[in-house]
Structure 1
């Protein structure tokens, strides 16, 4: 059922368009081209430590990895508060496991995330000639990120039924998290007093560890990844329990 609903979710997004699901491939290609041109060519930005001779393509890839994680994070969280509200028929008319709604939304976002990473890897091969041997470790980095998103999605989906304003509050928070994460600049470039707080940003650790394995050919920081995994597991468990405890009142509210 989850696979069927995810397929419908992905194809439904492009239904009626001339290129259909091909847009899922063209969109990250266009994004990568824009980032390369604007940040690398026009603004001539370089990653700290890369020096003046750092290739424009490498900076674009570094930036693109961070934005892939952020866009997945943003898509899942901003949709979560409306998941139950958009499927009232499932709540009132039939017996349906509402817990799968956040799972389906997350799976659809992960499909686009995988396509974006595929585009990035192809660009990496073209620009640098090879992919680091540590690249297969990417699932180890992404797995706890998925777990965290699922827990937050369950929590926000339940809260959104009772407090309809949560979506309006969430949008500026998500935008702020983008600028308070090492997407545009490395953590080392930030003031020393700010760096310890980066660990509280849910996308900081995945972005940094993904760059290590995909671009710099380094092993992930196991201590940071272990901390993030445990935190994600706790949030996922609490989010699921909160959803199950509050779903009893969904029908009355809706």
Structure 2
């Protein structure tokens, strides 16, 4: 890891109390002024998941074909969609965090990494309890197996990957504002380029390698293996996640070093 990136990460550790406070305030501010308040932060994903279950499993009784981790469509969708929602929320909010904090950064010598990290931590505070609830709800399908120990590793890997991507994209967005629109569009169609709506076995065989260009593909595969099949994720899942982590942090290292002098001017 490059010297500049190490210094930035060290600054985050030193400012961890401030980071925690900022993340909590961001969660509270998302629905400030509403009657339910912060409850909406958790209610919206829960209501979305409940709608998937009621529509696909209860009302229509839709079923997947052979080779799927589970036959129930709603149960399959929920396992991939909730982590995808968490990923999109963290990356999209973190991507625009430096642009939004431009005035503050010009007036105060705060670590720039503090702002994408705040956005990602705020998303983690929202979605991590929901993922725990998801694990509790799906545990009866396969019982308490050792494979559940993989779940914290997958969540941690997703948070670290989202932080690296959000940080990297926030730097690029500071230099080129079009990044916000381009990446926003890619996130909106990304759900179709990962095994979230359909199991990997239903994609044409020639297209399956292309799905690994989506950073959430290995994570979704891991969640499906643990929650739907009760088994430890395959080695290719960990290799795919590791490859994305290494690649993103290497590119981030270069972006942090190159933007050190110009970042505040871009904002």
Question: What TM-score results when the alignment is normalised by the length of structure 2?
Answer: 0.84
Question: Cα deviation per residue 1:181-222 (whole Å; 9 max; x = unaligned)?
Answer: 100111011111111111111111100111111221111112
Query: What is the aligned residue count?
Result: 249
Q: Provide the rounded CA distance (Å) in 1 between the counterparts of 2:228 and 2:191.
A: 21
- Within 1, Cα distance between the matches of 2:249 and 2:79? 24
Q: Does 1:233 align with 2:246?
A: yes
The C-alpha deviation readout for 1:148-201, integer Å capped at 9, x for no partner, is 222211211011112111111122211221111100111011111111111111
Shift of 1:130: 4.4
Secondary structure of the structure 1 residue equivalent to 2:261: helix
Which residue of 2 is the match for residue 246 of structure 1? 259
Matched, 1:67 2:67: no
User: Which residue does 2:224 correspond to in 1?
Assistant: 211
Provide the residue aligned with 2:104 in structure 1.
90
- CA shift at 1:94, angstroms? 1.0
Give the TM-score taking structure 1 as reference length: 0.88
Residues of 1 paired with 2:243 and 2:67: CA distance? 33
Name structure 1 gaps, 5 residues minimum.
none
CA offset digits 1:26-71 (Å, max 9, x no partner): 22331221001222234433233379x94x5xx4232112111211
2:46 paired residue number: 29
Unaligned runs of 5+ in 2: 1-17
Measured in 2, the distance between the counterparts of 1:65 and 1:110 equals 17
Q: Map 1:120-131 to 2 at 5 A.
A: 120-124=134-138, 128=141, 130-131=143-144
Cα displacement (A) at 1:18: 1.4
Of 8, 22, 27, the match for 1:10: 27
- Give the 5 Å matches for 1:111-190: 111-124=125-138, 128=141, 130-190=143-203
Match 1:77 to one of 91, 103, 108: 91
1:223 pairs with one of 220, 236, 258? 236
Whole-Å separation in 2 of the counterparts to 1:191 and 1:47: 16
For the aligned residue pairs, the C-alpha RMSD in angstroms reads 2.3
> How far has the Cα of 1:77 moved from its partner?
2.4
Contact 2:88 2:187 (8 Å CA) reproduced: yes
- Specify the SS of the correspondent of 2:231: coil
Tell me, in whole angstroms, the C-alpha distance in 1 between the residues paired with 2:230 and 2:141: 12
| Conservation of the 8 A alpha-carbon contact between 2:222 and 2:233 | yes
